[in-house]
């Protein structure tokens, strides 16, 4: 219901393939994880800022790379990582393990950064929702400048019911199935603990996978500084429009 990993990488555009670099690091329990590093193409020696991207539930980094591959052109370096069970990362995906992988990824990236730099974390879909918990529990929030939650859900059981409610053959089972989902790490319970990290919520008004009310509920529960925008797009096209990219860039700046 939550994780849909794929081991094999899909082809990526040559322009991106020529600059991406493999990274490997260990999770809290020693699981070996893989990801890609995209250096700034406009200023590789001194990037404006460092961005850690947490991808959604399907496939692996190769499927999600296009969502952030435009950022290096604007002077940012980007890390995109695979959770356990995804791509070249070892192990099998489970919620507790993946949350520890995100924590390990934050440590890995901040260790690479200059002491004066601060990290921007951006998550999409499941990555945004898991990121809320991971960042809320991170022991050194002063290293994180801002968090961008794109198409996040607020509650694991609610999003399961939304999904099952979309189909006539599963409508009757939405409540019993949703109650079987682990809700211990419900983003709505942890979003207030992101403060004082500046947080941006973005959601597509036509999102049929995760309905926009989830981001609205998270925004209401979050503390300042915070902002929200519901955009004229769906779940996976939110990054493709120049006006949405500009909104993300303006927030990061």
Tell me: the pLDDT tens digits for 87-136?
999 999 999 999 999 999 999 999 999 878 889 999 999 999 999 999 99
End-to-end Cα spacing for the chain: 36
Spatial separation of the C-alpha atoms in residues 252 and 188, rounded to whole Å: 23
Tell me: the pLDDT tens digits for 134-162?
999 999 999 999 999 999 999 998 877 77
In the predicted structure, residue 166 carries a pLDDT above the cut 80? no
Higher pLDDT, 51 or 184: 51
| Residue 9 contacts residue 62 (beta carbons within 8 Å) | yes
The encoded tokens of residue 102 equal: 């995100």
In sequence order, the 6+-apart residues with CB closer than 8 A to the CB of 19 are: 38, 39, 41, 72
Give the CATH H-level superfamily of domain 4-252: Alpha/Beta hydrolase fold, catalytic domain (3.40.50.1820)
Q: What is the pTM assigned to this prediction?
A: 0.93
SS3 203: strand
Tell me: the pLDDT tens digits for 42-62?
888 889 999 999 999 999 999
Count other Cβ atoms within 10 Å, centred on residue 64: 23
CA distances, 69 to each of 12, 40, 64, 203, 248 (Å): 10, 10, 9, 20, 14
Tell me: the pLDDT tens digits for 198-244?
999 999 999 999 999 999 999 999 999 999 999 999 999 999 999 99
Say what the pLDDT of residue 234 is: 93
Say what the pLDDT of residue 168 is: 46
In sequence order, the 6+-apart residues with CB closer than 8 A to the CB of 220 are: none
Spatial separation of the C-alpha atoms in residues 253 and 12, rounded to whole Å: 28
Count other Cβ atoms within 10 Å, centred on residue 243: 9
Torsion, Cα 97 52 69 56, to 10 degrees, reads 30
CA distances, 117 to each of 7, 111, 247 (Å): 33, 11, 22
Say what the pLDDT of residue 233 is: 94
Say what the pLDDT of residue 149 is: 98
| Residue 148 contacts residue 123 (beta carbons within 8 Å) | yes
Spatial separation of the C-alpha atoms in residues 1 and 156, rounded to whole Å: 10
């Amino acid at each position: 219901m939550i994780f849909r990993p794929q081991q094999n990488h899909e082809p990526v555009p040559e322009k991106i393939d020529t600059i991406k670099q493999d990274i490997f690091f260990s999770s809290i329990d020693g699981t070996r994880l893989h990801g890609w590093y995209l250096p700034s193409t406009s200023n590789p020696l001194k990037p404006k800022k460092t961005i850690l991207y947490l991808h959604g539930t399907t496939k692996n980094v190769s499927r999600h790379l296009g969502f952030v591959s435009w950022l290096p052109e604007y002077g940012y370096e980007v890390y995109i990582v695979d959770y356990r069970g995804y791509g070249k990362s070892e192990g099998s995906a489970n919620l507790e393990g993946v949350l520890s992988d995100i924590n390990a990824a934050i440590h890995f990236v901040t260790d690479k950064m200059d002491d004066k730099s601060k990290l921007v974390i951006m998550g999409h879909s499941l990555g945004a929702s898991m990121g809320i918990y991971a960042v809320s529990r991170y022991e050194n929030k002063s290293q994180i400048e801002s968090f961008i939650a794109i198409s996040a859900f607020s509650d694991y059981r609610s999003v399961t019911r939304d999904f099952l409610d979309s189909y006539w053959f599963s409508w009757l089972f939405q409540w019993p199935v949703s109650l079987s989902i682990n809700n211990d790490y419900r983003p709505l319970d942890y979003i207030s603990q992101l403060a004082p990290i500046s947080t941006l919520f973005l959601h597509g008004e036509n999102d049929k996978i995760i309905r926009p009310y989830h981001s609205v509920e998270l925004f209401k529960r979050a503390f300042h500084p915070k902002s929200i925008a519901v955009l004229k797009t769906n779940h996976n096209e939110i990054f493709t429009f120049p006006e949405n990219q500009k909104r993300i860039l303006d927030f990061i700046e």
